[in-house]
Amino acid sequence: MLIVIENLLTRNDVDAFRERLGQAEWVDGAQSAGSRSVAVKQNLQVERNCPVGVELGNTILRRLGDSPTFASAALAEKIWPPVFNLYQDGGHYGTHVDSALMRWPEANLTLRSDMSATIFLSDPDEYEGGELLVEGQYGAQAVKLAAGDMVLYPSSSLHQVTPVTSGQRICAILWLQSAVADTTRREMLFELDQSIQALSFGRTVDDPDIDRLIHVYHNLVRHWAVV
């Protein structure tokens, strides 16, 4: 399941990010690729310890903390700090799967990648190509969102970024470890939570039917979560 969160960043946020990223230190993205992925990865990314990247990444983390949809969809236990990347002049990232375990020694951080996210910082009309293709049960889905929007998808899925034939595609990416590792269970909880919120509209705060659904939801989380 792909989950789109619109307007995670406001237009003012996006404009400020683009201006600040012009002052960042960009390096060859292949430096962070695995032994197989390095052969299919062609992009630039902001150095992990670059102060600009750290500052903007922290802003994204705060926005995620304010998003009820993200909280419901991810049930995040750990989040790998956002990484900023840039594709241009045919830059692409061929079909790959994200590493299952990610280790950042400097921060003493290790996480299991359950979900991946792309936050778009370029509007679709700013570049040609550059679709995020995520393979799923019913084939590949192409994603190319407005600046400020984010898509969440299972880290276990094969995915790629198609070549950017003109313009620049600038994004932030991150990975997270969920309290509920199983993708199917996590998606069921998300659907249940979204249904509870929809059914709660117009009902009293002590509606017994809603209370029973909330009871089921939290007991499922309690049964499936590992923290």
Extract the annotated binding site: 96, 98, 159, 169
Neighbouring residues of 164: CB distance < 8 A, sequence distance ≥ 6: 87, 88, 89, 90, 91, 92, 127, 128, 129, 130
Q: Annotated binding residues for Fe cation, as ranges?
A: 96, 98, 159
In angstroms, the CA 87 to CA 129 distance is: 10
Place of tokens 């062609």: 42
Q: Annotated binding residues for 2-oxoglutarate, as ranges?
A: 169
In angstroms, the CA 93 to CA 150 distance is: 18
